[in-house]
Amino acid sequence: MAADKHALEFWSDSFHEGDWSCKELGNHLPIIRISHLNGFIPQYLYSLPNGEELEVTVYGSYGIWSPLPVPIGELLEWGKPDLVVYSPSEEKILFAVEETAAVPTGNQALQRFERIFGSAKRRIPFWYLVGEYGMHLDKGVRRDSIWAAVACLKLTVIFGVPSIVLHYSTKDSPEDYNAGTGLHSLFNILSKFLLNWAGVIADETMIPELQDQYLEMFDFIQSQWQQITDYLPSVEKLIGDGLAREFAVRALGNEPSNEFSGFLRWGLTRELPDEIRQKQSGRSLIKMDRLMARLEELVESGKAYTLSKRTGSRPQPRDSVGRWIRAQEGLFDVSGLDNPPEFTLKITEFPPSPSGLLHLTTAKNILYLCDLWEDLAREIISAYPRLAGVLKFFNAQDPVMFYVSNSMKPGRIFGDPYTGQLTNYSINFARNMSGEVSRKVVTYYPHQVHSQLFDSSGKLRSNKGITLMKVLVDLAIFHSGVAVVLKDGPIVL
């Protein structure tokens, strides 16, 4: 008699990734047969411990298929995970995976985080397999940032689903998928999730593996945070099997533990530990910008703080900067605006590096945690007087997360790595463990014009950058002080 057969679809960014996932899964569930439909579509048949079978069909390269299942299409609005496991009979995504060979350094470290958030928001379990150690362009070995792992802890608690960072590679074998524990751990837990979905094992059976994964995230954060930030609230509590188990239990949808309340909370400047607060000081700019100079003054006067002084600038070729300025000017459209501003970007305002490249970086920080909206609003109006009288959205006492991207290439802010960076910071610094907004989010793009948000008919364009801005950003300020409210609009000021 034929065994009962469960059917799933593995959707992936390429056939290689889907096929590779099936083979890795074969290290945990025995493969009975591999075949290819239509001469190219891989189909794997696995044996389950209870005698039933699991048939997995691989659909590589999302864009070639139609109709794309609706839940997958919705998830892809937040970027394309490398693997999405889909049950066609239930029209439901079981989980998603991102695995990256990108070097986890600098801006790259947080790219793709919007995919993690997009999944968590839909209560889709998500695993992010990333190199712990990577080779930087300068040939040095760098270690991953903590911010993805920290934000995943928050997403786990907020949404009650697994949101997990796993690491591969070691210091001696950077970028090596087979080094470290991440790869084995990933497919071990995925096989458990599949067995749970097939009714072979109970929820509780998955807790030990999930607990181990959260414990590994704690250990990574503990050993790395001081290289990334001067301050990480409640880091001393991120230890132990007990807390890791609480995260694992919450990841399976159980009620959140009381232990999470107040966790990873970024308070006001006066609430910082003395030694951290005393180290805060305004810094000079690399390239002058009126608003960023005022942000540094807020830090200097104890009304805002930054997280680290380990920041730098990556100057750009002069011809690229010239080309980008011309392109931005071509896109600049202030029709319909009251008190319309002028386009003012000039190549002469960007200081040269010793090698003749041009610095786009304004302030040395990209993130500021401001205590009061009224303080920040005053500085915004001081830098851009045309906004006087119109910035009336928030309460004066609201704390604000202020993020600046100095990028100039048109459209760049709507893609990697900026979308991931902004999403990650919004979760880490502007949401509490209940998912409530703890800070307003204001973003600043001094070298990008607002008109890029709109198509030729004046409608908001559709891309993942704008999708996440609509959800996460309360106020976006573009070149020449054009302010845009996306959440309930768009309203362009």
Positions in the binding site for another protein (CB under 8 A): 13-17, 20, 36, 38-40, 42, 59-61, 63-68, 80, 82, 99-101, 103, 137, 177
Tokens 């990028």 sit on residue: 407
- The nearest distance, CB 20 to another protein, in angstroms, is 7
Closer CB to another protein, residue 99 or residue 246? 99
- The per-residue b/e assignment along 154-187, b for 16 or more CB within 10 angstroms, e otherwise, is bbbbbbbbbbbbbbbbeeeebbebebbbbbebbb
Least distance to another protein, CB of residue 223, Å: 25
| C-alpha angle 473-475-480 in degrees, rounded to nearest 5 | 130
Task: For tokens 């807020």, name the residue.
Answer: 298
- Residue 38 region, left (φ>0) first, then alpha (ψ -120 to 50), else beta? left
Q: Give 102 or 235: the residue with its C-beta nearer to another protein.
A: 102
CB 106 → another protein: shortest distance, Å? 13
The C-alpha atoms of residue 402 and residue 399 are separated, in whole angstroms, by: 10
Instruction: State the minimum distance, in angstroms, from the CB of residue 211 to another protein.
Output: 28
Q: Residues with Cβ < 8 Å from 390, sequence gap 6 or more?
A: 483, 493
Q: What distances in angstroms separate CA 191 from CA 60, 186, 323, one per listed residue?
A: 20, 9, 50
CB of 60 to another protein, least distance (A): 7
Q: Which is nearer to another protein, 174 or 446 (CB)?
A: 174
Pick the closer one to another protein by CB: 76 or 493.
Answer: 76
Choose between 174 and 465: whose C-beta lies nearer to another protein: 174
Amino acid at 287: K
CB of 77 or CB of 209, closer to another protein: 77
Q: CA torsion, points 411, 412, 416, 419, in degrees to nearest 10? A: -70
Which is nearer to another protein, 39 or 51 (by Cβ)?
Answer: 39
DSSP category for residue 461: P
Residue type, 374: E
- Dihedral (Cα; 178, 180, 183, 185), 10-degree rounding: 150
Tell me the torsion sign for CA atoms 218, 220, 221, 222: positive
Alpha-carbon distances of 91 from 20, 163, 251, 341, rounded to whole Å = 24, 21, 22, 49
> Edge-to-edge strands of the sheet including 475-477?
304-305, 367-370, 400-404, 440-444, 475-477, 483-485, 491-492
What minimum distance in Å lies between the beta carbon of 447 and another protein? 23
The nearer residue to another protein, 186 or 404, going by C-beta atoms, is: 186
- Work out how close the CB of 217 gets to another protein at its nearest, in angstroms, rounded to a whole number: 21
Closer to another protein by CB, 51 or 63: give it: 63
Rounded least distance, CB 112 to another protein, Å: 11
Shortest distance (Å) from residue 169 CB to another protein: 11
Residue 18 backbone zone (phi > 0: left; psi -120 to 50: alpha; other: beta)? alpha
